[in-house]
Amino acid sequence: MNKIVPFQNKVWLSSPTMHGPELEYVKEAYETNWMSTVGKNINEVERLACEKVGCRYAVALSAGTAALHMAVKLAGVKPGEKVFCSDMTFDATVNPVVYEGGVPVFIDTEYDTWNMDPTALEKAFELYPEVKVVVMAHLYGTPGKIEELQAVCDRHGAIIIEDAAESLGATYKGVQTGTFGAYNCISFNGNKIITGSSGGMLLTDDEEAANKVRKWSTQSRENAPWYQHEELGYNYRMSNVIAGVVRGQFPYLEEHIAQKKAIYERYREGFKDLPVTMNPYDAKNSEPNFWLSCMLIEPEAMCRQERGEQEALYITEPGKSCPTEILETLASYNAEGRPIWKPMHMQPIYRMNAFVTREGNGRAKTNAYIRGGALGKDGKPLDVGMDIFQRGLCLPSDNKMTVEEQEQVIEIVKGCFL
């Protein structure tokens, strides 16, 4: 470890990768004076999204969160109604439910894909049979067990809202994510697989739903010769300037995915002798977009680690490590990693919401900082999301990272286990 020197230029988790055409389309918006929320760039990115994903309609919006909000509104969620949500995700998956007055009920994660557990979802319907909407995310670009989740929802007459913000370009049985729900969402945030610096889209095969979102997202202006408003509206449409960046990025989606996959494979090979595993996926049925490469430390190789609300402590042990140690060490060498998403049921804002595991225990509160936690009947941790959060981390996954830089990252991580 002493021979490794800090990176001269920071190695990022996942930063934007620009190619040139983006600037030309932005320039086109400028030169034609279409600097508003209408224009050729917007029309083109909506067309490109439909063409790539395989849906009939796309509505370009200001953010993936805006798209999720519109999806929740389309689903008819009313104040006080419970909605089943992925637990281990960014809170943007969940917050739009609350915007409409809904009450999130969190469904635990499964180890195979780190996504919503179909068994836990079935148990949740036993506890809350009245629920009619399920919001599920594809974590870090890895598709969840879509067919199993769909089958559970179909049995209970519920619809899926698919949060594909992290998984653009990923497929399940050859079909793109972003097409499996009644209403689906993607994101072009600055760190995503392709970016507009911001922006998102609602995707659907329902023309009426798409038209509603076009109206709602432009302040619900009626088709009248003056400004007529008969229902609540939002300022959610994508800028034609942002759309120019997205338009220039779309042709490079597959290239970015290939680069991200190569990063994932190099990590998997580089860590083969360490007591760790990479974030898993179902190779038989799915192909991720490999947005972020993550690792999970085996329980017996974890040194002692304790996390509070905003700080963490650990005790070094020979042959062992923990996410906090690895992340701090990477940072000391000028490389960016991140913790796994802290599960929603562990967040202070949502800690009193119901949380359902594969054994169907709908509990309202969990001790987020106990080490290990209760075990299920199968001998595995009952709270899977908490376990992955405690033992996992996101590695530098920037597709501009050189092979030599990644090899150095691998050596830095190895050094934490000495």
- The per-residue pLDDT for range 373-411, each reduced to its tens digit, is 577 777 778 899 999 999 999 999 999 999 999 999 999
Residue 361 lies in a domain: no
Q: What percent of the chain has pLDDT over 70?
A: 96
Q: Report the CATH number that the domain containing residue 219 is assigned in CATH.
A: 3.40.640.10
Residue 4 lies in a domain: no
Rounded to 5 degrees, what are φ and ψ at 242?
-60, -40
Residue 365 lies in a domain: no
Last residue of a domain, one of 187, 216, 251: 251
362-370 contacts, C-beta under 8 A, 24 or more apart: 362/105, 362/124, 362/127, 362/128, 368/307, 369/306, 369/307, 369/308
Residue 8 lies in a domain: no
Q: What is the pLDDT of residue 263?
A: 98
Q: Are residues 307 and 240 in the same domain?
A: no
125 conformational bin, left if phi > 0, alpha if psi -120 to 50, beta if neither: alpha
Last residue of a domain, one of 251, 285, 310: 251
Residue 366 lies in a domain: no
Q: Is 79 helix (H, G, I), strand (E, B) or coil?
A: coil
Using the structure block, give the residue that is written with the tokens 């494979």. 265
Residue 208 lies in a domain: yes
Give dist(CA 330, CA 306) in Å, integer.
19
Q: What is the pLDDT of residue 374?
A: 73
Give dist(CA 407, CA 412) in Å, integer.
9
Residue 351 lies in a domain: no
Q: Are residues 264 and 317 in the same domain?
A: yes
Residue 46 lies in a domain: yes
Q: Are residues 159 and 284 in the same domain?
A: no
Q: Are residues 233 and 272 in the same domain?
A: no
Residues 118, 148: contact at Cβ < 8 Å?
yes
- The per-residue pLDDT for range 298-338, each reduced to its tens digit, is 999 999 999 999 999 999 999 999 999 999 999 999 999 99
Using the structure block, give the residue that is written with the tokens 């009952």. 382
Asked whether residue 367 carries a pLDDT value surpassing 80, the answer given is no
Q: Are residues 283 and 399 in the same domain?
A: yes
Q: What is the pLDDT of residue 214?
A: 98
Q: Are residues 135 and 265 in the same domain?
A: no
Q: Are residues 236 and 301 in the same domain?
A: no
- The per-residue pLDDT for range 334-361, each reduced to its tens digit, is 999 999 999 999 999 999 999 999 987 7
Q: What percent of the chain has pLDDT over 90?
A: 93
Last residue of a domain, one of 251, 270, 295: 251
The 3-state secondary structure of 372-416, one letter per residue: CCCECCCCCECCHHHHHHHHEEECCCCCCCCHHHHHHHHHHHHHC
Q: Are residues 187 and 267 in the same domain?
A: no
Q: Are residues 122 and 205 in the same domain?
A: yes
Residues 236, 8: contact at Cβ < 8 Å?
no
Cα of first residue to Cα of last residue in the chain, in angstroms, is 10
Q: Which residues contact 223 (CB under 8 A, 6 or more apart)?
A: none
Using the structure block, give the residue that is written with the tokens 């319907």. 125
Q: Report the CATH number that the domain containing residue 309 is assigned in CATH.
A: 3.90.1150.10
Q: What is the pLDDT of residue 372?
A: 43
Q: Are residues 77 and 196 in the same domain?
A: yes
Q: What is the pLDDT of residue 324?
A: 98
**Structural domains of the chain, count:** 2
Q: What is the pLDDT of residue 363?
A: 54
Q: Are residues 269 and 219 in the same domain?
A: no
The angle subtended at Cα 80 by Cα 78 and Cα 85, nearest 5°, is: 85
Where b means 16+ CB within 10 Å and e means fewer, 199-230 reads bbbbbbeeeebbebbbebbeeeeeeeeeeeee
Give dist(CA 318, CA 301) in Å, integer.
10
Structural domain of residue 309, as residue ranges?
A: 253-341+373-415
Mean pLDDT of 99-117: 98
Q: Are residues 106 and 130 in the same domain?
A: yes
Mean pLDDT of 86-94: 98
Using the structure block, give the residue that is written with the tokens 């004076």. 33
